[in-house]
Structure 1
Amino acid sequence: MSDQTLHSLVEEMTLNEKIAQLMQLAAPFFEGSKEQGEITGPMAEMGVTKETVRNSGSVLGASGAKEVREIQEAHLKTNRLGIPLLIMADIVHGFQTIFPVPLAIGCSWDIKLAEKSAEIAAAEASVAGVHVTFAPMVDLVRDPRWGRVMESTGEDPYLNSEFARAFVRGFQGDDLTSDTSRVAACVKHFAAYGAGEGGRDYNTVDMSERQLREMYLPAYKAALDEGSEMVMTAFNTVDGIPASGNKRLMRGLLREEWGFDGVLISDWSAVKELIPHSVAVNEKEAAAKALTAGVDIEMMTLCYVNHLKELIENREVSEDLLDEAVLRILGLKKKLGLFENPHRGTDEQREQEVIMSEPHRAVARELAAKSCVLLKNENVLPLQSGQKVALIGPFAQNGDILGPWSWKGSREAAIQLYDGLKERLAPDRLSVSKGCSIETGTEEELQQALETAAHADIVVLALGENSDMSGEAGSRSDIRLPEIQHELLSALKKIGKPIVTVLFNGRPLDLRDVTEQSDAILEAWFPGTEGGHAVAELLLGKVNPSGRLSMSFPHSVGQVPVYYNCFNTGRPQGAPDAQERYVSQYLDVPNEALYPFGFGLSYTSFSYGEPVLSSNVLKPGEAIQLSITVANTGDRDGDETVQLYVRDMAGEVVRPLKELKAFEKVALVAGEKKEIIFTLKEEQLRYHHSDLTLASDPGAYTAYVGPCSSNVKEVTFSLVK
């Protein structure tokens, strides 16, 4: 189908048919859905007519080859022009084979494996009939109170950008038309959704444009540069205007400045929410503002369907804007090959072969192991041969390890930690006791746990959050573990046996008490379908931990936000001429994170030589190399993530204390050493100045290289123009 054919199709459509293309409804609204009978009440309440459904352009949340095929066939029989539906769903970190949550994937620092996880998710989703995934979420996050930090890859714009590119490549491949095992990506949430005040979901965002461009926009731009077909608007305000009605943000920056001509979709009900945001008095004004801003698809509200016709006929909104939106939607359908093959990729037989296949589970296991971060180890891990292990805690035998946005994942199919250890330990070496539930417990459960621990050599204590405690609408003001779990840990500590705490959670936690009372801490996050296997292999030393934090852990929620790439102040703590009290500091906790960005331990040790620059002077158009020798000085093979940071020592505006510019994950056998070489160019030193121009400053810079943001060696150079 040619572009001219698309234009002809739009000309043939009635006004109502064009408007309906802009509406997205959930699967139960459609004939052929297995849940159709459940929607009668909501359908009537919303005022959705059968005619509107027949003309609609896309479906939210349908999956399964049989169901999707029946929905599409029923739709094509009743749609006057035979325009196929787009099937969209939230395939965030796996379809049925569930990978670790994205924050955990960020901690792997493994870009290729992240891309592979998205490729597998696309393969499973596409064979089940899905065309578009609402992923990746690339929002930069600094506040662990926000539940959706689990859906981001962390606090750094460069690292987030690298993962954004990887996920888009994995989902979309090279050619969406010919490769029906891929799905279109939808980068979200544009823009700055991760900066909600107080870490509260859907809340106000207020920041300077320079901060927006420096920290929050790069990952969205990276995803679009990689070819993401869609963008989803954020729920929040940007500079006082909700994103879904923000013309300057959407048409000005996204479409005109960045040149994005793909499909822009609202988040769930976000167009209608312009009313409670107080920028629209009613649905009619909300519709006008959203379309004028450039929103092509309205998700799950009917402002467009109910009011665009009147707005256009009264010349309050140009029909040209409607036609542009329809053409973008039809263009995506064309790119996916839906006009020629409306059942693109859908295959019931292949569905059984592909979904949850052993090769997919193997990748999930590998990524889960690489995503876990060893935060503490007082020579108790890995577990030693012959030790009797007491596995205790609410996550000892718990399938709730998939995390939020694991829509099609099965907790029953997830490998629990007990299952993973039981496969690898003799029966007389492993005992298990619950100790307590996640938020409640009984005295009997506690006593059973203490008795189990007393007969063991070492305790593996599996603690954490249930999946509803993070994710969307999962904001928390107290980011400690529930009190009952602290009580269990304290009671076990009195037994006197070494304690290895394994954490299953979706956000950085306040771990002060856990750190004090544990001999080792392994942050497992929500590790996905193969989590029990992956964690067991780490605990037993079959796999050497290699994860490094992509988001800082605070000493206390009172520090939040705490992040590595912060600004200095005029009275920095530790300055040579600083007075003891009158500096920027807390009186009760350190300024720095408890566990900083880039941090993670291994079962081996690594040493770093001194960094060497090929030149101390960098000029535009040229490059200098920074080399450093890294050695595995332990007795185990291991992976080390070598991280390069730079600081502009005197900028036109204040610059961060450190900014990640490059990293390399290197595998070293015991005793091996390797020279790592990074290249630095002038372009990497550019930032947005006070007038928002992108440029670099001549003058002094410091380069830092090491295993994490707080443990680095430094060398200086100058930029000369």
Structure 2
Amino acid sequence: MRTAPAIHPYQDPSRPVDERVADLLARMTLEEKAGLLFHTMIPMHADGRPVEAADGDDPDFPADTTGLIGRQGINHFNLVGTAEPRRLAEWHNAVQRIAADTRLGIPVTVSTDPRHSFTLNIGASVRAGAFSAWPEAIGLAAVRDPELVHRFADIARQEYLAVGLRVALHPQIDLATEPRWSRQLGTFGADAALTSELVRAYIRGFQGERLGPDSVATMVKHFPGGGPQKDGEDPHFPHGKEQVYPGGLRELHLAPFRAAIAAGAAQMMPYYGQPIGTDWEEVGFGFNRGVVTGLLREQLGFDGIVCTDWGLLNDDEILGEPHQARAWGVEHLTVAERAAKALDAGVDQFGGEECPEVVVELVRSGRIDEGRIDRSVRRLLREKFVLGLFDERRFVDPDAAEETVGRADFRAAGAAAQRRSLTVLTNRDRTLPVTRTAPRLYTEGLDPAAVARYGRPAATPAGADLAVLRLFTPYEHRENRFESMFHSGRLDFPADELAAVLRVLDAVPTVVLINLERPAVIPEIAERAAAVIADWGADDEAMLDVVFGRARAEGRLPFELPRSMAAVEASRPDVPHDTADPVFPFGAGLDLEGPPA
């Protein structure tokens, strides 16, 4: 699809980007500038149509796409949900046509949470669906191979570009130093040096050596490192707002962000956390001038876009339930006062919000100077121009989207990575790899159709040659629907669940496959299982291929596995590998015989 002929300098692709930015900025009203400062969530219909006010309210995500773009001037959107590639492309083009019909025709920038793995969390990730399926980020860290991370990021970039997704709301490079914290699956683990090495490869895979029309911009999070959460609770919620550094390792948590900035990260997201007991002001990082301007801008030299985490200003509803604004330390301020404090802190955009009228009133009242707004608008416009959104990248080709997303070689690369990432922790009596032909298999948590390709089903452990159990890290069930997606709290199995597992382990040699979204406490299982394999996002076939020697597992633990909850509770949240006498230390993992990797 061709764009209209150039009328004004900003529409002329032959002119320098800075000249085009200056020309467009000079033509914008205050209301249009304010709209750029909001990066909100938006749904789509499964058939590729934008969701409009006339469609009736979705109970979870109501929307008025044309109103947001045309009346409010908002043109940065975080797409929630998914659809077939053709429909995603058609939705993107429909949204761009709405934007093209506005007064200045400023194109929309569409962002996404990670959508290449196995986890669904409306606040953090989308299942792969039609996209190639890979291990979670922590599984890439288990392989410890920057070339694999670069390959993943390059494939994800191509799939995103095909459907018009231009900002990755990742990588998440917090250090996973608090074993109970719910967000570890999206990190590269607890080690600062490994995380720093992998984030460089990740950013270059998405962005290239420099940002351009073939790039997907990365929004690195959560500055200045969200791992040290008090009691491992998450600051999406009031009871998890405190971020603490009892071990004095604040600087360690900054190391990955230094690497990200050096690699050219386009955007940065401060976390919700409220630092306690430091020399920083005790307000959430999105409101914290000492952190955003003093540390990120001035000390670390970052001049890209700073976008707050989602929902700092307004109380809202998530999944039909009331949800408090994550305005930790400034809960007493009005919405306008919170916005002013965040702008004073140095942020450019408000994530998950859609109230540009608040910024307009702050300027008209004299509380915020329009020149301050212009500084952020320049950054936001410049990225749109650099990404080619005003020119050749405004629209995408639905046919190419169908051909590119989930391409056979992309799926094969993801499947191979799943197998490589699996981490063998124990292998007593050389149980693995299983070489017996068609053994009788008792299984729990696995698809019977997948199991049938490896052995004969057994109805009970007593009738089996081998048991294979698929387990998941325990967590505490929370009543709030949104919070229930953030698996937090205890890491040990309840007594009745553990007893049921141990009965199988005592009845027949058993391979335990455990998904480690957090560091599970499994000393009894580790002692009595014939073999234990950790997975970080893998399908049943990938895991059984390793069990039966058809693929080689290469993973190493990206964090330690604690021996008890007492050891977890005694550890310091900001210190990696800090639990006493872990069952498995950081870096644990065994090599098995198998086909070449």
User: For the superposition of Structure 1 and Structure 2, which TM-score range results when normalised by the shorter chain?
Assistant: 0.7 to 0.9
Q: 2:255 aligns with which of 218, 225, 231?
A: 218
Deviates more, 1:126-135 or 1:20-29: 20-29
**Distance in 2 between the 1:120 and 1:466 partners?**
32
Q: Aligned pair in 2 of structure 1 residues 112, 519: CA closer, same or farther (>3 Å)?
A: same
**Distance in 2 between the 1:502 and 1:43 partners?**
36
The alpha carbon displacement at 1:57 in A equals 2.5
Give yes or no for contact 1:141–1:149 (8 Å, CA) kept in 2.
yes
CA deviation vs aligned residue, 1:616-660 (integer Å, no higher than 9, x gap): xxxxxxxxxxxxxxxxxxxx7888xxxxxxxxxxxxxxxxxxxxx
Amino acid at match of 2:526: T
2:76 maps to 58
CA deviation vs aligned residue, 1:61-118 (integer Å, no higher than 9, x gap): 16610111101111211x2111111111112545522211111221111111111111
1:489 partnered with 2:501: yes
Give yes or no for contact 1:154–1:551 (8 Å, CA) kept in 2.
yes
1:27 maps to 42
1:504 partnered with 2:515: yes
**Distance in 2 between the 1:83 and 1:467 partners?**
45
1:18 partnered with 2:33: yes
Deviates more, 1:531-540 or 1:269-278: 269-278
1:422 maps to 452
Amino acid at match of 2:112: A
The alpha carbon displacement at 1:167 in A equals 1.1
Give yes or no for contact 2:474–2:520 (8 Å, CA) kept in 1.
no
1:524 partnered with 2:535: yes
Q: Secondary structure of the equivalent of 1:186?
A: strand
The alpha carbon displacement at 1:484 in A equals 5.3
The alpha carbon displacement at 1:364 in A equals 1.1
2:342 maps to 290
The alpha carbon displacement at 1:177 in A equals 2.4
Give yes or no for contact 1:501–1:520 (8 Å, CA) kept in 2.
yes
1:102 maps to 137
The count of residues paired between Structure 1 and Structure 2 equals: 535
Q: Secondary structure of the equivalent of 1:516?
A: helix
Q: Secondary structure of the equivalent of 1:207?
A: coil
2:330 maps to 278
Q: Aligned pair in 2 of structure 1 residues 522, 463: CA closer, same or farther (>3 Å)?
A: same
The alpha carbon displacement at 1:53 in A equals 4.7
**Distance in 2 between the 1:313 and 1:533 partners?**
61
TM-score (norm 1): 0.69
CA deviation vs aligned residue, 1:425-472 (integer Å, no higher than 9, x gap): 3xxx3216xxxxxxxxxxxxxxx4x2xx22221111222259997997
2:469 maps to 461
The alpha carbon displacement at 1:494 in A equals 4.1
Q: Secondary structure of the equivalent of 2:424?
A: strand
TM-score (norm 2): 0.82
Q: Aligned pair in 2 of structure 1 residues 312, 300: CA closer, same or farther (>3 Å)?
A: same
**Distance in 1 between the 2:213 and 2:149 partners?**
23
**Distance in 2 between the 1:160 and 1:50 partners?**
38
Deviates more, 1:80-89 or 1:454-463: 454-463
The alpha carbon displacement at 1:367 in A equals 1.1
1:89 partnered with 2:106: no
Q: Aligned pair in 2 of structure 1 residues 475, 116: CA closer, same or farther (>3 Å)?
A: same
Q: Secondary structure of the equivalent of 1:549?
A: coil
Q: Aligned pair in 2 of structure 1 residues 98, 5: CA closer, same or farther (>3 Å)?
A: same
Q: Secondary structure of the equivalent of 1:188?
A: strand
The alpha carbon displacement at 1:563 in A equals 8.7
2:548 maps to 540
Give yes or no for contact 1:564–1:597 (8 Å, CA) kept in 2.
no
Q: How does 1:145-156 map to 2 (within 5 A)?
A: 145-156=180-191
2:592 maps to 603
**Distance in 2 between the 1:126 and 1:52 partners?**
25
Deviates more, 1:473-482 or 1:139-148: 473-482
Give yes or no for contact 2:142–2:558 (8 Å, CA) kept in 1.
yes
Q: Secondary structure of the equivalent of 2:513?
A: strand
Amino acid at match of 2:290: R
2:413 maps to 363
**Distance in 1 between the 2:57 and 2:476 partners?**
25
What RMSD in Å do the two structures reach over aligned CA positions? 3.2
1:194 maps to 227
Give yes or no for contact 2:172–2:220 (8 Å, CA) kept in 1.
yes
Q: Secondary structure of the equivalent of 1:601?
A: coil
**Distance in 1 between the 2:562 and 2:509 partners?**
25
Give yes or no for contact 1:501–1:518 (8 Å, CA) kept in 2.
yes
**Distance in 1 between the 2:378 and 2:327 partners?**
28
1:231 maps to 268
Q: Aligned pair in 2 of structure 1 residues 112, 599: CA closer, same or farther (>3 Å)?
A: same
Give yes or no for contact 1:389–1:431 (8 Å, CA) kept in 2.
yes
The alpha carbon displacement at 1:173 in A equals 1.9
Greater relative CO, 1 or 2 (CA 8 Å, sep 6+) = 2
2:492 maps to 480
The alpha carbon displacement at 1:525 in A equals 2.6
Q: 2:379 aligns with which of 328, 331, 340?
A: 328
Give yes or no for contact 2:473–2:519 (8 Å, CA) kept in 1.
no
1:6 maps to 21
The alpha carbon displacement at 1:223 in A equals 1.2
Give yes or no for contact 1:373–1:522 (8 Å, CA) kept in 2.
yes
Q: 2:148 aligns with which of 107, 113, 116?
A: 113
1:436 maps to none
The alpha carbon displacement at 1:327 in A equals 0.4
**Distance in 2 between the 1:26 and 1:253 partners?**
28
Q: How does 1:629-648 map to 2 (within 5 A)?
A: none
Give yes or no for contact 1:396–1:462 (8 Å, CA) kept in 2.
yes
CA deviation vs aligned residue, 1:347-391 (integer Å, no higher than 9, x gap): 211121122222111111221112111111102111122261414
Give yes or no for contact 1:489–1:517 (8 Å, CA) kept in 2.
no
1:594 maps to 583
Runs of 5+ consecutive residues of structure 1 not aligned to the other structure: 398-417, 433-447, 569-584, 605-635, 640-721
The alpha carbon displacement at 1:258 in A equals 1.7
Q: 2:285 aligns with which of 243, 248, 254?
A: 243
**Distance in 2 between the 1:591 and 1:160 partners?**
23
Q: Aligned pair in 2 of structure 1 residues 558, 15: CA closer, same or farther (>3 Å)?
A: same
**Distance in 2 between the 1:554 and 1:209 partners?**
18
**Distance in 2 between the 1:549 and 1:219 partners?**
19
Q: Secondary structure of the equivalent of 1:195?
A: coil
1:268 partnered with 2:276: no
| Larger fraction in strand | 1
**Distance in 1 between the 2:587 and 2:557 partners?**
5
CA deviation vs aligned residue, 1:267-286 (integer Å, no higher than 9, x gap): 11124436453365101111
Give yes or no for contact 2:293–2:345 (8 Å, CA) kept in 1.
yes
Give yes or no for contact 1:147–1:201 (8 Å, CA) kept in 2.
yes
The alpha carbon displacement at 1:129 in A equals 1.2
Give yes or no for contact 1:92–1:136 (8 Å, CA) kept in 2.
no
1:374 partnered with 2:424: yes
**Distance in 2 between the 1:41 and 1:547 partners?**
42
The alpha carbon displacement at 1:54 in A equals 5.0
The alpha carbon displacement at 1:211 in A equals 2.0
The alpha carbon displacement at 1:195 in A equals 1.1
Give yes or no for contact 2:274–2:328 (8 Å, CA) kept in 1.
no
Deviates more, 1:461-470 or 1:135-144: 461-470
Q: Secondary structure of the equivalent of 1:162?
A: helix
Runs of 5+ consecutive residues of structure 2 not aligned to the other structure: 1-14, 83-87, 118-127, 236-240, 315-324
**Distance in 2 between the 1:313 and 1:361 partners?**
53
**Distance in 2 between the 1:29 and 1:386 partners?**
49
Give yes or no for contact 1:33–1:68 (8 Å, CA) kept in 2.
no
2:4 maps to none
Q: How does 1:134-173 map to 2 (within 5 A)?
A: 134-173=169-208
Q: Secondary structure of the equivalent of 2:541?
A: helix
CA deviation vs aligned residue, 1:484-503 (integer Å, no higher than 9, x gap): 542332222343x2111111
1:439 maps to none
1:343 partnered with 2:364: no
CA deviation vs aligned residue, 1:575-632 (integer Å, no higher than 9, x gap): xxxxxxxxxx9xxxx822111001101126xxxxxxxxxxxxxxxxxxxxxxxxxxxx
